[in-house]
A and B are shown apart, each in its own frame.
Chain A
Amino acid sequence: MTDPFADVPHEPGAPKPDPIVIADHVHRHFGGLTAVDVEHFEVQRNQITALIGPNGAGKSTFFNLLTGFDKPQTGEWQFNGHSLVGTSPAKIARAGKVRTFQLTKALNRMTVIENMRLGAADQRGEKFFQALVPGLWKQREKDITEKADVLLKRFKLYEKKDDYAGSLSGGQRKLLEMARALMSDPEMIMLDEPMAGVNPALTESLLEHVVELRDEGKTVLFVEHDMHMVRRIADWVVVMAEGKIIAEGPANTVMANKAVQDAYLGAHHDTDLSEDAS
């Protein structure tokens, strides 16, 4: 496989050969505080892109903007060539771009299998009048359940099928949320801090699952603090600081970038500030 990033310059806002997401001039401020100010941003199809940056860099806000959960003051962005400006989160999800949350949103008082079924698309029984006639949705329900079983086996949650999601561990809930997002066969999956609060014993399998997603042809964009994960699986890394994209490139080169080190450690991190130094 040739590297799709071979000809991509290592600079902020670099154009990609086959972008699935393109964002332009996205600006979001809360009062006087600028949270996101992104000039140009592209995500390469069928690759794993990591979005990193120090606390308060605007990663999560940018994530919310891209998925419709927040609205920017200005800017335009598109997915698969269709503009998503002003589109509701539900429509964005139906268009094939599904997200997970930093604070896991497993539906605790529903069973694992019901969580999974809820993720499926095209269930006519979700319409009020058709819900009254089981004959209209029973077959689809069976198909959905079979699909859910396959995914649950893959994510090693099958034994927990009939347990309430609230009884799962933090890491298992992350896995459930990811599996649930896959129920609708999205083209792109966006993971908001998939490693946060996950037991180290589960991190390895979580990483494998993310890589598997790419190998199946899906596009992955994730926000993460855990640099180990970024180094291990990200094909391309985008660094944000103070709302702007300050660097892009493969994991190893981006970490050596001066601007990135300054953003994480402060521009004067190697200056001696003690009094007797002056």
Chain B
Amino acid sequence: MLDILLDAVTALFAPATAAFALAAIGLNFHFGLTGLLNMGHAGFMLLGMYGYAISTQNGLPIYVALVIGVLAAAAFGLLLGWPTLKLRGDYLAIATISAAELIRYLGRSNSLQALTGGSTGIRGSDFKFTFEELSPLPDENITILFWTNHGTKSSSWWLHIVAWVIVLLFALLFWQLARSPWGRVLKGIREDEDAVRSLGKNVYAYKMQALVLGGVIGALGGILWALGNSVQPDSMGRPTTFWLWTLLLLGGAATVFGPILGSMIFWSALVIVKGLSSAFIPTSVLSPVELEPFSLVLVGVTLMCLVVFRPQGILGNKRELAFND
């Protein structure tokens, strides 16, 4: 029992949790502020990962690799937004979900094997070294209370610190932008874009800015995730996008800490559900292989309950969401 609890606390602060929180902050710019239905956020993440990892493999310094990852996501956003943002919201959803799948299929295709590593992807050791070289922490295992992590390698204390500092910086950025006049225009667009047009604002340009900014933040989330794992196209499929939506709605869309809280709860709940079901459900009923899908089914049920009983999420403002006409 104590093990499960300990694992859950580990998941609360894991770099992967931070990576999803960051990507969800990007999605919060899309959906929470602007009302854009981006159903392909994993595609932005994957592009960022590829941009970063491939650049590093080819000997570019870390800052250049970061810029390339970010530019890839920005170009993707511009390309997707250009034809769809003049249309009704549903078209963006359709375009993003298929474009994200397109990126994943391109990445895992044999013809791009030399560049992307095909379906096996790019091994962590091929692109993590520039980040690990920057670590000021000692090159050994460090134990703090119950937790032992390496100082610099892979899911290291170094990555923990960097990931959460970045998440907090972007939460700060969201807070600052959401309360600025710029954020006010986006909220207006979320409510009714024709009204905002009639007040003299260039709605198309604002939607494009939000799409690109959120996509770039998603790409940075992808890079953080890759630094703790590897670049693997199938880990950034549709389920990833839906998990991001789940944890954003769970925490509370349009709030500053919603994506962070949502990601923490989502990942630790997954650990607890997995731990409890492996402890209490005999293997004759549920084999270990089926545990993972089973916990995800429970997550799906949770999301449905959430949308029915608390549509504003944990931190969301009930009053703000009460008007839906």
A residues with a Cβ closer than 8 A to B are 67, 69, 88-91, 93-94, 98-101, 105-110, 114, 117-119, 121, 123, 125-128, 130-132, 134, 137, 141, 164, 166-167, 177, 180-181, 183-184
Number of interface residues of B (CB under 8 A): 32
Pairwise interchain contact A107-B321, C-beta atoms closer than 8 A: no
Q: Does B177 contact A (CB under 8 A)?
A: yes
Q: How far is the CB of A137 from chain B (nearest CB, A)?
A: 6
Shortest distance between the CB of A131 and any CB in chain B (Å): 4
A100 to B197, CA, bound (A): 11
Chain B facing A: main interface SS? helix
What residues on B are CB-neighbors of A132 within 8 Å?
A: 173, 176-177, 180
A-B contact pairs, 6 of them (CB 8 A): A91-B200, A118-B201, A121-B200, A130-B182, A180-B199, A184-B200
Asked whether A93 and B197 contact (CB < 8 A) given A132-B176, A164-B320, the answer is yes
Query: Chain A nearest CB: distance from B134 CB in Å?
Result: 26
**Docked-complex contact B198 and A118, CB < 8 angstroms:** no
A107 touches B201 (CB 8 A): no
B215 → chain A closest CB, angstroms: 14
Closest chain A residue to B323 by CB distance?
A166
Binding site for A on B (CB under 8 A): 173, 176-177, 180-185, 187-188, 190-192, 194-203, 209, 213, 319-323, 325
- Tell me whether B192 and A90 are in contact (CB under 8 A): no
- Asked if residues A93 and B323 are in contact (CB atoms below 8 Å), the reply is no
B190 cross-chain contacts in A, Cβ below 8 A: 109
Contact of A69 among B180, B187, B194, B321 (CB under 8 A): B194
* A88 neighbours in B (Cβ, 8 Å): 197, 202
- Tell me the complex Cα distance, A200–B160, Å: 63
User: Interface centre among B180, B198, B322, by most A CB within 10 Å?
Assistant: B198
Do B187 and A110 have beta carbons less than 8 Å apart? Answer: yes
Residues of B contacting A121 in the complex (Cβ-Cβ under 8 angstroms): 200
Of the candidates A109, A123, A125, the one whose C-beta lies within 8 Å of that of B320 is A109
Nearest residue, chain B, Cβ from A92 = B200
Chain B residue numbers with a CB within 8 Å of A89 are: 194, 197-198
Q: Which residues of B contact A114 (CB under 8 A)?
A: 184, 187
Q: Which of B180, B198, B319 contacts A105 (CB 8 A)?
A: B198
B319 near A119 with CB under 8 A, answer: no
Kindly list chain A residues whose C-beta atoms are within 8 Å of the C-beta of B184.
Answer: 110, 114, 117-118, 126
Shortest CB distance A219–B (Å): 17
> Contacts A125-B181, A131-B181, A167-B323 hold; do A109 and B191 have CB atoms under 8 A apart?
yes
- With both beta carbons as reference points, the residue of chain A lying nearest to B189 in the complex is identified as A107
